[in-house]
Structure 1
Amino acid sequence: MVAAYEEHAKVFKAFCDEKRLRILGLLRGGEKCACVLLEQLDLGQSGLSYHMKILVESGIVESRQEGKWTHYKISEKGSANACALLKKLTTPDLVREEGNCCER
């Protein structure tokens, strides 16, 4: 179960930085080359690589190599998984747990 929480945390880590949110906003318009992202963001190559690594590891963004450049796009499957995960984690269980300390 701990491994599942570690994987869940990767998804939410992808959303908890304003630069990564800005990257996702740019990728909403379709696939972008890293060179285009660098032009539109106030980041150096290493900064972009750091943020893209987090986004790709979360599954929300996909990457592909073309020559020396990497191209990125939002993953439909990763986006759906992130939505489902948020819903799962925030939907109350209908089954009441036994032994709740407040129910004596």
Structure 2
Amino acid sequence: MPQFDVSGSTISHHLKVLRGAGLVDCRGTWVYYWPVPDRIQWLSTLLAVPTSSTLSS
């Protein structure tokens, strides 16, 4: 993983955590990961910070 400043095992651990949270899914012997769109949208909504225009509504 030359693109990242962490070890492959660290990346693997974090992908396992994201998979456990339902944010990514995977398949195959050579594991390929992808985001789960519904869960990413849910997380985006959960983390959205109200703006001044939404507070005045």
Q: 1:55 aligns with which of 5, 14, 18?
A: 18
1:72 matched residue in structure 2: 33
CA shift at 1:58, angstroms?
A: 2.0
Give CA-to-partner distance per residue, 1:48-89, whole Å, 9 cap, x none: 111111221222222112x3x1111111011111123235xx
Secondary structure class of the residue paired with 2:31: strand
Q: How many residues in Structure 1 have an aligned counterpart in Structure 2?
A: 51
SS of structure 2 residue aligned to 1:41: coil
Tell me, what secondary structure is at the counterpart of 1:43? Answer: coil
Question: TM-score, length-normalised on structure 2?
Answer: 0.61
| Matched AA of 1:56 | R
When the two chains are superposed, the root-mean-square deviation of aligned CA atoms in Å is 2.3
Q: Which has the larger radius of gyration?
A: 1
TM-score, scaled relative to structure 1:
0.39
Q: Which amino acid aligns with 2:39?
A: G
> Which protein has greater RCO, CA pairs closer than 8 Å, 6+ apart?
1
Quote the sequence identity (%).
28
| Residue ranges of structure 1 left out of the alignment (5+ in a row) | 1-37, 93-104
**Gaps spanning 5+ residues in structure 2: where?**
none
